Amino acid sequence: MNSKPLRVEQRGPARWLFLNRPAQRNALNSELTDALDSQIDDIAYDQETAVVVLTGEGPGFSAGGDFRHFLELDEEDGVLAFLTRLSSVVTRIEQSPKPWIAALHGHAIAGGLEIALACDLVIAAEGTLVGDGHVNNKLMPGAGSSVRLERAVGKSAARWMHLSGQPMTAEELRRTGWLHDVVPRERLRERAGEVAAELASRDTVAQQNMKNLLKSIAGLDAPAALKAELDAFDSNWRQNDVPGALRTFLAARGTTKQEARA
């Protein structure tokens, strides 16, 4: 297997990223974080890539931070600097103009969960264990779960995961609405590929404008968010040749100009 900490495959318009430290349960260290960061830049500007699928090699998605790496960094007072960088990388995933899909299996714990929370859609294999887990080792979150988990799964489930350190199964979490799909393990990558193909088939500019809108209205009150929505509609209409797209849509269905005006 490729020894790089992040394995990359381009499958048509989908960029597949594989966390590739299976012997360490895909634990996050500086090298893997840097590799993810580099891919975020490349993906954002690559016109051939419309969507990203992030998954893990080996028995699970990711067990979170690499504790041995933490202890090495602690000797140089570098743990906080590492987590600051990791947090920034996770936020950059969340803010990417292109859709990111996380495909989870086995376990997605602590930092692994935090990465998944930053993705647009999450698909999980049946039986996957997903948890915050920080308190089990006297730790606090450092890459966003205290901010994003409650928004994703609701207060009750989030508080349980934060305060007990216990994971929940994919089947339990599906009821929260966070997971897009839960499938048998052998179908995980196939299903992720199907979802990626569906997303990649949509207009790229409109999709990116939608992501920008959703990002911009986070935390706004309703009147401000509704105004931002109308502004986004106007900007997309003028910049993305929406009238041309509507004419094509109507022509394909044999709709006359007079009918379109009715």
Q: What is the pLDDT along the chain (262 residues), one digit of tens a residue?
A: 458 999 999 999 999 999 999 999 999 999 999 999 999 999 999 999 999 999 999 999 999 999 999 999 998 889 999 999 999 999 999 999 999 999 999 999 999 999 999 999 999 999 999 999 999 999 999 999 999 999 999 999 999 999 999 999 999 999 999 999 999 999 999 999 999 999 999 999 999 999 999 999 988 999 999 999 999 999 999 898 899 989 999 999 885 455 555 4
Q: Residue 83 has what pLDDT?
A: 97
Pairing of strands 168-169, 129-131: antiparallel
Q: Residue 1 has what pLDDT?
A: 47
Q: Residue 254 has what pLDDT?
A: 82
Please, are residues 49 and 10 in contact by the beta-carbon 8 Å criterion?
yes
Provide the CATH number for the domain formed by 6-200 in this structure.
Answer: 3.90.226.10
Q: Exposed/middle/buried for 18, CB within 10 Å: 0-12, 13-18, 19+?
A: buried
Give the integer Cα–Cα distance in Å for 86 and 92.
10
Q: How many CB atoms lie within 10 A of CB 196?
A: 26
Q: What single-letter DSSP state applies at residue 41?
A: H
Crossing angle of helices 79-94 and 67-74, rounded to 10°: 130
The predicted model scores a pTM of 0.92
**Which residues, in sequence order, are CB contacts of 183 under 8 Å at separation 6+?**
123, 124, 125, 126, 191
